[in-house]
Amino acid sequence: MPILTTSDYRPPLYLFNGHLETIVPSAFRKITDVTYQRERLELADGDFLDLDWLKQGTRKLMIVSHGLEGSSDRHYSKGMARYFYRRGWDALAWNCRSCSGEMNRLPRFYHHGATEDITAVVDHAIAAGGYETIVLVGISMGGSMTLKYLGENAGTLPTQVNGGVAFSVPCHLGSSARELDKPEKRFYLNRFLKKLGAKIKLKSERFPDLISYRGFDQIKSFEAFDNRYTAPLHGFRDAQDFYERAASLPHISNIRVPVLIANAVNDPFLPPACYPFDIARQSDFVYLETPDRGGHTGFTLPGSDDSWMEQRAFAFFENPLVR
């Protein structure tokens, strides 16, 4: 499908680089007028997922998946849910394991390739809600998970699932992990490691025979974290095996429903490998939009409480002519 190298996104003047476009909305955008209904989904492996709903009895549902160490409470999750709800859709913002405010039960966490969990969410929504149309929106890690789910299940996708939109997607995991090792980007890495470290500490107290917090302060890269924790807890040989098997990039070409990938050119998290131009050119279903601006999960709009991500996702699903 077309490569959308021209975009209508324009940032506010005070956000004049990718770092500001990333940090300012993350720190200061607050969505206070969303009140979810929470549901706990029990999983077959004994764990649980917390699902946060905005319901109004429609037959159309938007499911939004959050980023690394995010939640349904993040501005982009609440903003997306609110935007669709105000326009006649039900909305579901689900929380990955350990991300809802309550630690999950099992030693494992969540990761970019954990499509078994988004599968459980989609299947539950279909069984419980009677929806005729379901669309998926993913932000950062949630975008990668969404794309992997759509590609892996291309031949068996529920008929209700009509398409997906993914923003700020680190679809090539290895290179995106190394991108945040760069000195000028360690601010982001350190914030992630601080949050993950708190969870590892709690897990080590619950499962001392499986997980150790000792020496966590010596971890200085995602690769080191993934080698020590992500890989062994989730059945991968090591970090490289995780990056190869959990990445969405190898699955994007298999997608058979309309999908938009929107990655800003100035996204500080994404290296060139995360812009799948060749796949989009050859696919009948994958659209790739690369706005010059937007940062990572930013896309602030001047003078608006909505973000461009919300407007763009809704337009993609509601009006095929704007694709």
| The two structure tokens encoding residue 269 | 């998290």
- 204 with 253, same domain? no
Task: Give me the count of residues in the chain.
Answer: 323
Residue 241 inside a domain? The answer is yes
Residue 289 inside a domain? The answer is yes
Q: Does residue 138 contact residue 62 with C-beta atoms inside 8 Å?
A: no
Q: Does residue 211 contact residue 204 with C-beta atoms inside 8 Å?
A: yes
- 135 with 58, same domain? yes
Q: In sequence order, what E strands does 18-85 have?
A: 37-42, 48-54, 60-65
C-alpha dihedral (41, 229, 199, 243), degrees to nearest 10: -60
Residue 305 inside a domain? The answer is yes
- 44 with 107, same domain? yes
- The pLDDT value recorded for residue 2 is 72
Q: Does residue 255 contact residue 150 with C-beta atoms inside 8 Å?
A: yes
- 109 with 168, same domain? yes
- The pLDDT value recorded for residue 4 is 78
Residue 299 inside a domain? The answer is yes
- 81 with 105, same domain? yes
Taking CA atoms, 217 is separated from 4, 24, 39, 194, 224, in Å, by: 43, 27, 36, 9, 11
Residue 179 inside a domain? The answer is no
Of 323, 235, 298, nearest in space to 18 by CA: 298
Residue 178 inside a domain? The answer is no
Residue 209 inside a domain? The answer is yes
- The pLDDT value recorded for residue 322 is 54
| 245 vs 227: CA distance, rounded Å | 14
- 112 with 240, same domain? no
Contacts from 200-206 at CB under 8 Å and sequence distance 24+? 200/229, 202/103, 203/103, 203/107, 206/103, 206/107
SS3 265: coil
- The pLDDT value recorded for residue 6 is 73
Q: Is the pTM of this model over 0.85?
A: yes
- The pLDDT value recorded for residue 138 is 99
**Cα 123 from chain centroid?**
18
List average pLDDT for each run of 10 residues in the chain, which is 323 residues long. Answer: 80 93 95 96 98 97 98 98 98 99 97 98 94 98 99 97 98 96 94 98 97 97 97 98 98 97 98 97 96 97 95 91 54
- 240 with 253, same domain? no
- 146 with 279, same domain? yes
- The pLDDT value recorded for residue 79 is 98
- The pLDDT value recorded for residue 3 is 84
Tell me which residue range forms the domain holding 109.
3-172+249-322
